[in-house]
Structure 1
Amino acid sequence: MPKNPLRFGLSLDPDVAHANDSARLASAAEEAGLDYLAVQDHPYQAGHLDSWTWLTHLAGQTRRIGFMTDVADMQLRPPAMLAKAALTFNRLHHGRLALGVGGGAFADGIAAMGGTRRSNRDMVTYTEEALQVLQPALAGDFVRLHGAQHRIEGYQAGPAAAVPVPVWLGAQGPRMLAVTGGYADGWISPLNIYVKPDEVPAKQKIIDEAARAAGRDPATIRRVYNVIGMIGPARGVPGLSGGVEQWADTLADWSTRLGFDTFIFWPVAESQSQLELFAGEVVPAVRERVAR
């Protein structure tokens, strides 16, 4: 059973061909009462908008809804500059950012843009050190780190955040999950087609044990599940498919049994009608079931 309040969001397609549709969906999601708009970060994709520029544009078109990077690639967005961008965003848009970060899933894409090609082990080290830069920088502290993958000579971070910026780490393997438990404010699970529900308890256990070993309360770590699928009769679609009741029962089960407190919906088609079903029918039904 999650200790944090339930939250729900919608993933927006950053493809330039769908930019106008995504902007309309952002406004509709806010009107429907969702908590987050989430944007993936794959800048080496030629057809993708830059996620930071896109988020800033969308934030200017909305008033209340939160934004989530799902997840920012820290190998292409070094942590000191990433903190600067996040603090600026939060200052300009009244604390509406949850900073989802990751070590970078695609070494070829990172190298293609001039980043360093790292082994998986070095990527984990890079991420752990990056969080040791990112967290104090977001707090407006003085940052210095001489590590295996980072050398920060001495940086006075700012501007100070009126509202703290949470850092949620995208992780799947055991070492990255342990980094999540040790340092991050939340875990962002990959899509339910990549981390299947029956794999979740073992991953949650790694996070919890690492948190306790670091002297942290695991209950304070938010748990986010990216859920792809379609609400309604469908065949051959990836992820979760079925009617409103099946979606409500499934997400409530994943919350109470698996411990997720935040769900980001990735509709596979018919995004406007799927948003209406999700926000208008699935979300209130999940809240009711979990509360009961």
Structure 2
Amino acid sequence: MPDYGHDLLFSANIVPYAQHPDTVVALAQLAERAGLDVVTFQDHPYQPALLDTWTLLGYVAAATDTIKLAGNVHPLPLRPPAMLAQAAASLDILSGGRFELALGTGGYWDAIAAMGAPRLSPGEAVAALEEGIQIIRAAWDTDAPGGVHFPGVHHRVEGTPRGPRPAHDIGIWLGAYKPRMLRLTGRLADGWLPSLPHLGTTAKIAEGNDVIDEAAAEAGRAPGDIRRLLNLGEDLPPAQLAELALEHGISVFTLMTGDPGQIQRFAAETAPAVRELVAAARRPPGTQAPVERVRETAPGAAAQAGVQQPPALGVTPTPDDGVRLSDVRVWDESTRPTASRPDPDRRYTPREQANGRHLIDVHDHLRTELAQLRDLIDQVAAGTLDADAARSHINAMTMRQNNWTLGAYCESYCRLVTMHHTGEDAVLFPHLRRAEPALAPVLDRLKEEHQAIHKILERIDRALVAFVGDPAGRLDDLRAAVDLLTDSLLSHLSYEEHELVEPLARHGL
């Protein structure tokens, strides 16, 4: 199948758990900060364990600024299309043109009927969806004269006024699998949104594209008018996603996850790698990629940045960007020992790749929570965070304690870092030392850095005690201590990943 030429978009699909509403919103905000293009939420109104997706979308729209929003997908039988058109247009206006409308026929008919909607056969459900799309588009067409009249079999509209007009041309994406739904997608929709776990194989994507393209041509449309989107059950290697884009036309990749580390890695590593592979393949023969300037880093960071891991490892250690917030240095990065470089021709099994990735996942968790801690301090300093808001933010953090204060969160973060390092010193490092004695100098240095970081944590504890007694006068001391922790911890985590990810892949956890 051809590459339809659409810009690539990367997205996260988050389960809207009603028991953890703050976490759901925080994950959407994280997806935006990480640089993803879209965030989506499944829509199952008949499941009381889930938030109402339409209410959630409005709330998330107000809590974000740039990321696009969509359901994944909305069951049309539970929402009359004329009302759905108004809701979608209103959300698009309020969000500044950031909403896309993904629809499906329903599927869970016992649950749908239990909520009072009429039970339809599969064929009737497709026909009802086709009617609904026509009504929705008519309601958005405020240039047409008069009201909307549609005497359908399943949906009837008798002169309802048109509008409001969306802020942008909302795309209508269909969750389709069977031939009749695929043909409807080709005739009327703007996007095809299946899930790879449900399809089973990429061959099914090719088969679906054939049906959609044929139906589009019969309707006088270009196949490229229909975006091809795909829900992913796991973060696939960039080369595989690039192949899906170039061979099957997929241009929107949505990772179904609630893991902050996966969201960040998908945005920071997978998305840029896929974009570069696709851009290189699309580039005309004889042309070269634009040259990017390399950011200057601290001396120790520059040495680390030059350390390359084998591509077959399937994971990239996080580089040290060299930025330092504090003038204090607790160690000399240039004296760090390094392990021997791995065999560049070695290939790693999926289990070995997962072993190496696990350390980065744990570290990403620490980085995320550190960023949230710094943000809390900034908000307190700026006077933009009151007690109620602070409680809400801290409640959304995964390392929270029962005492809803900034101090309690600082304490909990320090405890988590200490527990992580203690576990490495007591279990992980001895295991690697036995498996590969040549790693001893690196492991000794990492343990020394653990001790240095522990002293910084003690400094934060002292600054915290002073801050609680004098919030206005001691905030600078607390901020300085957290700046030093930020410099030291991020540098340490990067060094540890560069030295240990590959040995962990070979020797296991």
1:289 and 1:100 mapped to 2: Cα distance?
Answer: 28
2:45 counterpart SS class: coil
Quote the offset at 1:18 in angstroms.
3.1
Tell me, yes or no, if structure 1 residue 127 matches structure 2 residue 129.
yes
2:89·2:167 contact (CA, 8 Å) conserved in 1?
no
The Cα of 1:53 is off from its aligned counterpart by: 0.3
| Matched residue, 1:15 | 17
For 1:162 and 1:53, the matched residues in 2 are separated by 19
Residue by residue over 1:117-165, the C-alpha shift from the partner in whole angstroms, topping out at 9 and shown as x without a partner, is 1000100111111111111212335321112212111222211223121
Aligned counterparts, 1:1-292, within 5 A: 1-140=3-142, 141=144, 142-189=147-194, 191-195=195-199, 196-229=201-234, 231=235, 240=236, 247-267=237-257, 271-292=259-280
Structure exhibiting the larger radius of gyration computed from Cα positions:
2
CA distance in 1, matches of 2:171, 2:140: 9
1:89 is displaced (CA, Å) by 0.5
**Secondary structure in 2 matching 1:193:** helix
CA shift digits 1:76-122 (9 cap, x unpaired):
01111000001110111110001111111211111010001100010
Check the 8 A contact 2:216/2:222 in 1, yes or no.
yes
TM (norm. structure 2) is: 0.53
Structure 1 CA distance for aligned equivalents of residues 138 and 169 of structure 2 = 11
The answer (yes or no) to whether the contact 2:16–2:41 under 8 Å persists in 1 is: yes
How many residue pairs align between the two structures?
A: 274
Whether contact under 8 Å (1:13, 1:19) holds in the other structure is no
Residue 275 of structure 1 aligns with an amino acid whose one-letter code is I
Cα distance in 2, alignment partners of residues 109 and 157 from structure 1: 32
Other-structure match for 1:237 = none
- Helix, strand or coil at the partner of 1:261: strand
Structure 1: which amino acid aligns with 2:242? A
SS in 2 for 1:99: strand
TM-score, L = length of structure 1: 0.91
2:183/2:211 contact within 8 Å kept? yes
What is the CA–CA distance in structure 2 between the aligned matches of 1:97 and 1:273, rounded to whole Å? 25
Number of the residue aligned with 1:235: none
Task: Tell me the amino acid that sits aligned with residue 193 of structure 1.
Answer: P
Alpha-carbon contact 1:4-1:220 (below 8 Å) kept: no
> How many angstroms apart in 2 are the aligned matches of 1:157 and 1:50?
26
Give 1:198 shift: 1.6
Q: CA RMSD in A?
A: 1.2
Where does residue 243 of structure 1 map in the other structure? none
Distance 1:139 1:212 in 2: 24
Range with bigger deviation, 150-159 or 274-283: 150-159
Determine if contact 1:3/1:220 at 8 Å carries over to the other structure. no
C-alpha contact (below 8 Å) 1:139/1:161 kept by paired residues: no
Shift of 1:2: 2.8
Structure 1 CA distance, aligned partners of 2:46 and 2:95? 27
Q: Distance in 1 between matches of 2:13 and 2:110?
A: 24
Letter in 1 for 2:260: Q
What runs of 5+ residues in structure 1 fail to find an aligned partner?
232-239, 241-246
Higher strand share: 1
Counterpart of 2:102, as a letter, is: G
SS in 1 for 2:148: strand
Structure 2 residue ranges without an equivalent (≥5): 281-509
- In the aligned structure 2, how far is the partner of 1:139 from the partner of 1:167? 14
Superposition deviation, residue 61 in structure 1: 0.7
